[in-house]
Amino acid sequence: MGAVVLGLCLAGAASAQPPANDQACFTCHSAIVRQYQRDHAMARSLGPVDTPPTPGRVENPRNGMRYELSVDGRDRAWLSATYPHGGTRRQQIVGRIGAGVHDVSWATTEVDVITSEPTDRLFFAPVEHITGKGLTLSPFEQSDRGPTAAMDKVLTTACLRCHSQTDVTTLPSSAAARGRVHPAHQLGADAFDHLEPLGCAACHGDATRHLELMRRPEGLRRALEGDDTDLGLRRLASLDPGLQRDVCARCHLDGDAHLDLTRGAFDPSRPLEAQEPNFRIRPDDPDDFRFVGQWERLMESACFKGSPSMTCTSCHQPHSGVAAQGLTSFDTACMSCHSSPEPTCSRSPELTVQTVTGEAARSREGCVDCHVRRSQPFDLPHVRTADHRIRRRIAPPETLPYRKNAGKDGSLEALTDGRLEAALATPAGRRWREGTSALAAFGLGRAEQAVRHLTAFDALPAVAGNDLFVDLESLPQFQILRARLASTTGEGDTLQRLEAVLKLDPADPFTRLTLARRHLEMGELDAAWQKTEQVLADFPNDEHAYFLRVKIAEKRGDPEAIRQALESFVKLWPSDPVAWRKLARFRAGAGDEPGARRAWARAQRLRPGQ
């Protein structure tokens, strides 16, 4: 047996590259990997559009937007939008997000409305497929709070991190430079042909070192003898319960304001909250829950509060999906704790599951039916799923209108399991909490609250030598917060603060463009132009830099520079009617009547009558 395993390990370790799509893991763990890929929705977290979606039409009654999903003779799926003003936009559906258990969202790429050439910029489609319902508006398009995103909901690395661990800078058509993709959603029309769904590495980490250790006879011997103190791989069972939960919580804790303080360097040996703090607005109704809020809701359960060692795997089998695991397994997990000394249930025989929930029992014991509410999350209409706040008495299911946040005007609170309680009570911890609260509040549009937290942050002394909390002032995003608040309140030198951001992140295109706009406002046209030049040197596909150049050239009175900037802009982003209309005028002024007519026709196609 040992010789066979050794051969498999050596075969799997031949490449020094990280394993792609779990293939290296198959060599030794074929049964586990096959079970995971067969039964777990995570293994189908995204992918190309292998099966064309069903055509259909949907209208948004709130704003009059009309969407049509169609499939052409080459099995390519297209999404067309007709605006209330009569203008049209078109996007090609190029990817699938979600396994289809509850729903499937689609990734689209914007195309030229005339030529159908892709822009390589990715968006979330404003329509999706809900299991059992069919084509419907996407959640963000159903919002009852403010305008909808329509065809402009960008799909970026931040959106994909819970669906794929592929490094997007390696995608063949992404606009990658200086270690980042910019524009952040220019990942390429073919991105979903190269993005891999979640595999073993999502929970266990990169297997490269594990494979290298298994190539060595002594490493294999230790593994076979059960001495797994160092297998070069993260094993959930060997982690502290809190760190076990963190592995799952990175994707199963959504909140209303999520901060990533690691800049892509998450350390699984440190608490998640110290690296990626999450905040929520206190919910208007404590019975309402969000679709990706499993850990948030579990923390409110008496089960968790009474069992600090409880983890997600206390109930869930990590290599199987919920459906494959079956309710009986979950009932058994309940009874493993609720026994005295034999498994017992205080429910009287005449009190049936039907009486409690209004529906027939799905298992013999009925633990999950009676104590885990199945209802509609407030952020995903037409879906019913499990509310992970386990309790003695559950509220009946309900249907809610979509909303983005847990509440609207409620207090902002950190989602915490208490592991940092002692550290947060120290001066360094209090300062860090004020700073992260300022970031979260500003991200939610609460500028006044952000100012109060930042003032409290500055009033507390900085403490050196604390390894648990990130030095917030070393982060570009914190200095950006300072600059934006200075601009909002009129206190402090905004230019000086933005220059401080560039010292921390010299390639940051957003800060450079913000500086360019500031210089433009102050009439410093050469400085503004120079900043756009610096952005385009690193990121030549940034259409915003070109449009800013249009404004600078207008101030300079330079028609040729205006025309050149406009032509560069519409080449990168052909869906802006204002730019096409401007270009039509400038072409006409230069005597290019055919070019002017073409530009005017595009403007009219996008927005008629203006």
pLDDT of 105: 95
Classify 142 as helix, strand or coil.
helix
**Structural contact between residues 191 and 95, judged by C-beta atoms closer than 8 angstroms:** yes
Q: Which of 67, 53, 167, 147 is nearest to 103 (CA)?
A: 53
With tokens 């892709």, the residue in question is: 118
Q: What is the pLDDT of residue 9?
A: 36
pLDDT given at position 13: 35
Q: What's 22-79 look like in SS3? A: CHHHHHHHHHHHHHHHHHCHHHHCEECCCCCCCCEEEECCCCCCEEEEEECCCCCEEE
Contacts of 102 by beta carbon, 8 Å cutoff, 6+ apart: 130, 131, 291, 380, 383, 385
Map residue 471 onto helix, strand or coil: coil
**What is the DSSP pairing of strand 180-181 with strand 374-375?**
unpaired
pTM, rounded to two decimals: 0.89
- Residue 10: the pLDDT is 32
Check if the beta carbon of residue 99 is closer than 8 Å to that of residue 77. no
Q: Show the low-confidence residues of the chain (pLDDT under 70).
A: 1-21, 144-148, 219-230, 340, 342-344, 465, 492, 610
Output the 3-class SS for 87-117.
CEEEEEEEEEECCCCCEEEEEEEEECCCCCC
The identity of residue 107, as a single letter, is A
- Helix, strand, coil share (%) of the chain residues, nearest 5: 45, 10, 45
Alpha carbons 593 and 263: distance in angstroms, whole number: 50
Query: Which of 294, 295, 300 is closest to 273 using CA atoms?
Result: 295
How far is the C-alpha of 570 from the C-alpha of 576, rounded, in Å?
7
Distance CA 466, CA 470 (A): 8
pLDDT value at residue 261: 94
Mutual orientation of helices 559-572 and 577-589 as an angle, nearest 10°? Answer: 140
Whole-number Å distance between alpha carbons of 607 and 588 = 20
Category of 283 on φ-ψ map: left (φ > 0), alpha (ψ -120 to 50) or beta: beta
Q: How many residues does the chain have?
A: 610
CA atoms within 13 A on the CB side of 85: 11
Q: Please state, in angstroms and rounded to a whole number, the distance separating the CA atoms of residues 398 and 377.
A: 9
pLDDT of residue 3: 30
Q: Please, are residues 546 and 555 in contact by the beta-carbon 8 Å criterion?
A: no
Pairwise CA distance, residues 66 & 64, whole Å: 6
| Phi (first) and psi of residue 476, to 5 degrees | -55, -40
CB 164 within 8 A of CB 45: yes
